[in-house]
Structure 1
């Protein structure tokens, strides 16, 4: 009798363990399925990102440089600007005549702002009258 009871206990314990193992196997199966889904989503996202980068790279390579005659014009323009800077520098600093004034032309007057008019010896502007 004792052996039969012991045998039944062992069978019950075995059934419980088998149930636990089956439950654990199902959990692992679900985890693997989720992991595969996440992996596929990441792979798809990476492929999309790589394609976008490739498109951007192709667009950057495909941009045409400005035409040679435009590049030449731009280069000559900036060279002339650099050459004329010294002539304009004195005028812009208020230390010399306008660069386009010739020897026979009267010097040009610069526009005066209120801050420059005060120190130039001009009389003060009249104050606005109030209505009586």
Structure 2
């Protein structure tokens, strides 16, 4: 029976050594897992930063291209110029109202509107071919 007790004690010691080694390995795995997780997060952040910077650069290029190529039609520019000229002409009539010192001017008071000629309208095209 003493042989069985010695054998069982040896197995218990081996079991405790195995459990201790297992605990060490689990701690190492947790540490390496955390490092791997941090490394993965850093890589994902860098990839997202690169994506964002390329998107911003693309948007800036598109914005520059749109800003540089689009010019309003000359007729539209003429209308805008005349609009602001009329606003500036009617501003003295409205100034008292804007300052809170009087009622709005009645329609038809102030300077008479200028008659301006609009550019001629383009003629509609017909579907016929000329020979």
TM class by shorter chain equals 0.3 to 0.5
TM-score (norm. length: structure 1): 0.43
Q: Which has the larger radius of gyration?
A: 1
TM-score (norm. length: structure 2): 0.44
Task: With a CA cutoff of 8 Å and minimum separation of 6, indicate the structure with the bigger relative contact order.
Answer: 2
